Amino acid sequence: MRETLVLNASFEPLSTVSLRRAVVLIMQDKAVVEHAHTGLRVRAESVDLPVPQVIRLCRYVRVPFRPRAPWSRRGVLVRDRHRCAYCGRRASTVDHLVPRSQGGADSWLNTVAACATDNHRKADRTPTQAGMRLLARPFEPTPGDALLLALGLGESTALPEWLRVPGAAPAA
Ligand SMILES: [Zn+2]
């Protein structure tokens, strides 16, 4: 997949994102194109842009995670956008899928954001033992995820349907 380098407003390189995410950032006026492919354009519906190779954010962004960020409770809440993994309501606590009492680790893949009610209901059990279903799987944030989260764009939001397949085509 084609990747676009993202610079902070200070020109400091932050990470790479997929082409379609770069296009979304430009269309939402969150970034400007610093450097583009000559002769390659993205064309879809109302969009006709040169394929961006480097974009720069319009506003300076403090990225909440470093690459290979150490696990933290705050990081889990930011990653999950303060949404409970069990009911989707506002979460203020961090739940261990495999409870620490059963040897579960403080790790990105073993923890999710949870509301106090669900955390209390699940108690010292795994989701299976408690008969509770996860709405989404936990993931280890990449620098790209961290950047999109800092910009308020989650993994499954803000992507128009027609951008799900990148529309890069050679110019005529
Ligand atoms: Zn909940």
Pairing mode, strands 3-7 and 31-44 = unpaired
pLDDT of 167 strictly over 70: no
> Quick one: pLDDT band at residue 69, thresholds 50, 70, 90?
low
Q: How far, in Å, is the centroid of ligand 1 from the Cα of 146? A: 24
Model confidence pTM above 0.75: no
Q: What's the gap in Å between 118 CA and the centre of ligand 1?
A: 5
Query: What does the domain layout of the chain look like in residue ranges?
Result: 3-63+143-170, 73-130
Q: Which residues make beta-bridge pairs with 54?
A: 5, 35
Distance 91 CA to ligand 1 centre (A): 7
Distance 137 CA to ligand 1 centre (A): 15
